[in-house]
Structure 1
Amino acid sequence: MAFGHFSQGQPPEDPVEALRAELLAVKQASGLSYARLGARTHYAKSSWERWVNGKQFPPRAAVESLAAALELDPERLLALWERADEARADATGADEGGVGESANGAGEPEEPGHGAGGAAVAEADTSATPRQRPAGRRRLLFVGAVCLLGAAVSVAAVLATGGDSHDAPAASKAAAATGSAQPPTPQCRAAGCGGKDPAATHCGLDGQTLTLTRNKDIVIELRYSKACAAAWGRITYASKSAIVDADNSAGDSFATPVHWGNDVYSPMVAVTGRMTAWACGTQPNGGARECTRHMPVPGTPQG
Structure 2
Amino acid sequence: MAFGHFSQGQPPEDPVEALRAELLAVKQASGLSYARLGARTHYAKSSWERWVNGKQFPPRAAVESLAAALELDPERLLALWERADEARADATGADEGGVGESANGAGEPEEPGHGAGGAAVAEADTSATPRQRAAGRRRLLFVGAACLLGAAVSVAAVLATGGDSHDAPAASKAAAATGSAQPPTPQCRAAGCGGKDPAATHCGLDGQTLTLTRNKDIVIELRYSKACAAAWGRITYASKSAIVDADNSAGDSFATPVHWGNDVYSPMVAVTGRMTAWACGTQPNGGARECTRHIPVPGTPQG
**TM band (smaller chain):** 0.7 to 0.9
Asked if the contact 1:191–1:269 (Cα under 8 Å) also holds between the matched residues in 2, the reply is yes
- 1:112 partner SS: coil
- 1:24 partner SS: helix
For residue 174 of structure 1, report the CA deviation from its aligned partner.
Answer: 3.6
For residue 10 of structure 1, report the CA deviation from its aligned partner.
Answer: 1.7
Q: Would the alpha carbon gap of residues 153 and 8 (structure 1) be closer, same or farther in structure 2, given more than 3 Å must change?
A: closer
Matched-pair identity in %:
99
Q: Would the alpha carbon gap of residues 146 and 156 (structure 1) be closer, same or farther in structure 2, given more than 3 Å must change?
A: farther
Asked if the contact 2:220–2:236 (Cα under 8 Å) also holds between the matched residues in 1, the reply is yes
Q: Would the alpha carbon gap of residues 43 and 145 (structure 1) be closer, same or farther in structure 2, given more than 3 Å must change?
A: farther
Aligned to 2:272: 272
- Structure scoring higher RCO (CA < 8 A, sep ≥ 6) equals 2
Q: Would the alpha carbon gap of residues 258 and 296 (structure 1) be closer, same or farther in structure 2, given more than 3 Å must change?
A: same
Asked if the contact 1:10–1:211 (Cα under 8 Å) also holds between the matched residues in 2, the reply is yes
TM-score where L is the length of structure 2 = 0.82
Asked if the contact 2:110–2:120 (Cα under 8 Å) also holds between the matched residues in 1, the reply is no
For residue 202 of structure 1, report the CA deviation from its aligned partner.
Answer: 1.8
Q: Would the alpha carbon gap of residues 34 and 139 (structure 1) be closer, same or farther in structure 2, given more than 3 Å must change?
A: same
- 1:290 partner SS: strand
- 2:213 partner SS: strand
- 1:214 partner SS: strand
Larger deviation, residues 290-299 vs 71-80: 71-80
CA distance in 2, matches of 1:274, 1:127: 58
Larger deviation, residues 223-232 vs 103-112: 103-112
CA distance in 1, matches of 2:126, 2:113: 15
**CA offset digits 1:61-103 (Å, max 9, x no partner):** 3223323333444443233212111212222333333589999
- 1:235 partner SS: strand
Asked if the contact 1:242–1:283 (Cα under 8 Å) also holds between the matched residues in 2, the reply is yes
CA distance in 2, matches of 1:102, 1:149: 32
**CA offset digits 1:208-232 (Å, max 9, x no partner):** 1110001122111101112211111
CA distance in 2, matches of 1:175, 1:163: 24
CA distance in 2, matches of 1:297, 1:127: 51
For residue 189 of structure 1, report the CA deviation from its aligned partner.
Answer: 1.4
Larger deviation, residues 87-96 vs 1-10: 87-96
**CA offset digits 1:143-201 (Å, max 9, x no partner):** 35642787999999999999999633343234334544322222211111111111222
Asked if the contact 2:158–2:167 (Cα under 8 Å) also holds between the matched residues in 1, the reply is no
For residue 50 of structure 1, report the CA deviation from its aligned partner.
Answer: 1.9
CA distance in 1, matches of 2:136, 2:31: 37
CA distance in 2, matches of 1:140, 1:273: 45
Larger deviation, residues 105-114 vs 260-269: 105-114
- 1:232 partner SS: strand
**CA offset digits 1:12-51 (Å, max 9, x no partner):** 3211111112211222232221001112223221221121
Asked if the contact 1:38–1:113 (Cα under 8 Å) also holds between the matched residues in 2, the reply is no
Q: Would the alpha carbon gap of residues 158 and 14 (structure 1) be closer, same or farther in structure 2, given more than 3 Å must change?
A: closer
Q: Would the alpha carbon gap of residues 90 and 302 (structure 1) be closer, same or farther in structure 2, given more than 3 Å must change?
A: same
Query: Superposed, which structure 2 residues align to 1:55-66 within 5 Å?
Result: 55-66=55-66
- 1:65 partner SS: helix
How many residue pairs get aligned? The number is 303
Asked if the contact 2:162–2:265 (Cα under 8 Å) also holds between the matched residues in 1, the reply is no
For structure 2, the 5+ residue unaligned runs are none
TM-score where L is the length of structure 1 = 0.82
Q: Would the alpha carbon gap of residues 37 and 6 (structure 1) be closer, same or farther in structure 2, given more than 3 Å must change?
A: same
Asked if the contact 2:153–2:182 (Cα under 8 Å) also holds between the matched residues in 1, the reply is no
Q: Would the alpha carbon gap of residues 159 and 223 (structure 1) be closer, same or farther in structure 2, given more than 3 Å must change?
A: closer
- Provide the alpha-carbon RMSD of the alignment: 5.2
Q: Would the alpha carbon gap of residues 124 and 270 (structure 1) be closer, same or farther in structure 2, given more than 3 Å must change?
A: farther
